[in-house]
Amino acid sequence: MNHFQQIYATEAATYHRLVAAEDTRGELAAELSRVAAAATSIVDIGTGTGRIAIPLCQAGMKVHGIDAAPAMLKVAAEQLDSCDGDWKLSVGDARDLPVSDGWGDVAIAGWVYGHFTEWWPETWQAELDQALAEMDRVVRSGGVEVVIDTLGTATTEPAAPTPGLAAYHDRLEAMGFARTVLRTDYRFDSVAESIELLDWFFGLGEWGRQHNEALVPEFTGWWERTR
Ligand SMILES: C[S@@+](CC[C@H](N)C(=O)[O-])C[C@H]1O[C@@H](n2cnc3c(N)ncnc32)[C@H](O)[C@@H]1O
């Protein structure tokens, strides 16, 4: 199990604490609201602890979240419990979604497929193509497909953090996804929390110690295409 798989298997609550501090400018939230305004059902692929599913459920969308890690879904279920809307969570794989053909008006995969480049360095292109084919299958004709992924944390310019991620972004764009750059800075409760969580997830504690900031710059890519 690698660093991130270990986190998703055993430290879901801390992951949720990290992402709760993200998007202090509300740019990601605005994109989610835009998508929600024109849709009623969403497949949230790699839903994690529900950071995308929760606002979309609260906006009245029917949400089906799927994730490979049961511990992440347990936290998502606790969070979604207070949403009166129609939501469902399933353990499953992004490359073989437990969703019927054309069920969703929208599918979103947030910070999921990028892991393939690290977890399967030899075959990630084929795994990504399979996941995108599954995304295509579960979205109705004319629906919206969104991939969200990192363009860098604790950095001043948006850029893929690794050559593997750059190749993944290129592949998305070759497949018709158009990129929008979002600013998704973190605002932690304290400098100490910033250092703790940056170190824990990204190994960026040194940045936190040098900058002594509770506000941490971050860029995120939003890739979108119409099915
Ligand atoms: C960085 S988290 C993102 C979670 C959530 N989308 C968010 O925005 O916070 C990545 C999630 O993708 C899930 N994941 C990774 N590979 C997966 C796969 N092949 N199928 C389903 N889930 C996967 C992990 O278990 C983890 O919960």
Residue 14 belongs to some domain of the structure: yes
pLDDT score of 160 more than 80: yes
Q: How many domains does the chain have?
A: 1
Residue 199 belongs to some domain of the structure: no
pLDDT tens for residues 25-64?
Answer: 999 999 999 999 989 999 999 999 999 999 999 999 999 9
How many Cα atoms occupy the beta-carbon half-sphere of 73 within 13 Å?
Answer: 17
Residue 65 Cβ < 6 Å to ligand 1: no
pLDDT of 210:
87
pLDDT score of 205 more than 90: no
The pair of structure tokens assigned to 97 is 């979604």
pLDDT of 9:
95
24: containing domain: 3-188+217-226
Angle (CA) 64 70 73, round 5°? 45
pLDDT score of 207 more than 90: no
CATH number of the domain enclosing 127: 3.40.50.150
- 91-95, 107-111, 153-157: range with lowest mean pLDDT: 153-157
115 Cβ neighbours under 8 A, 6+ residues apart: 4
pLDDT score of 80 more than 90: yes
What's the one-letter identity of residue 121? P
Residue 146 Cβ < 6 Å to ligand 1: no
Looking at ligand 1, which residue's alpha carbon is closest to its atom 1? 111
pLDDT of 29:
97
Residues 139-167 as b or e (16 or more Cβ within 10 Å = b)? bbeebbbbbbbbbbbbbeebebbeeebee
Residue 13 belongs to some domain of the structure: yes
Cα gap 35→56, rounded to integer Å? 9
Residue 72 Cβ < 6 Å to ligand 1: yes
CA of 84 to the centre of ligand 1 (A): 24
Angle (CA) 181 184 188, round 5°? 165
Residue in 67, 74, 123 to alter for ligand 1 test, most ligand atoms within 8 A of Cβ: 67
pLDDT of 212:
85
Cα gap 151→165, rounded to integer Å? 9
Residue 67 Cβ < 6 Å to ligand 1: yes
CA of 180 to the centre of ligand 1 (A): 21
Looking at ligand 1, which residue's alpha carbon is closest to its atom 4? 48
Model confidence pTM above 0.85: yes
The residue-averaged pLDDT of 72-91 equals: 96
Residue in 6, 14, 112, 119 to alter for ligand 1 test, most ligand atoms within 8 A of Cβ: 112
Residue 129 belongs to some domain of the structure: yes
Residue 193 belongs to some domain of the structure: no
Band of pLDDT at residue 180, cut at 50, 70 and 90: very high
The residue-averaged pLDDT of 101-112 equals: 98
pLDDT of 1:
76
What's the one-letter identity of residue 27? E
Residue 112 Cβ < 6 Å to ligand 1: yes
Residue 211 belongs to some domain of the structure: no
Q: Which of 131, 1, 8, 4 is nearest to 69 (CA)?
A: 8
H-run or E-run covering 11: none
pLDDT tens for residues 3-29?
Answer: 999 999 999 999 999 999 999 999 999
CA of 220 to the centre of ligand 1 (A): 16
Residue 198 belongs to some domain of the structure: no
Residue 172 belongs to some domain of the structure: yes
pLDDT of 105:
97
CA of 210 to the centre of ligand 1 (A): 30
Residue 68 Cβ < 6 Å to ligand 1: yes
Q: Which of 28, 33, 47, 16 is nearest to 184 (CA)?
A: 28
| Residue 123 CB neighbours (<10 A) | 11
pLDDT of 208:
80
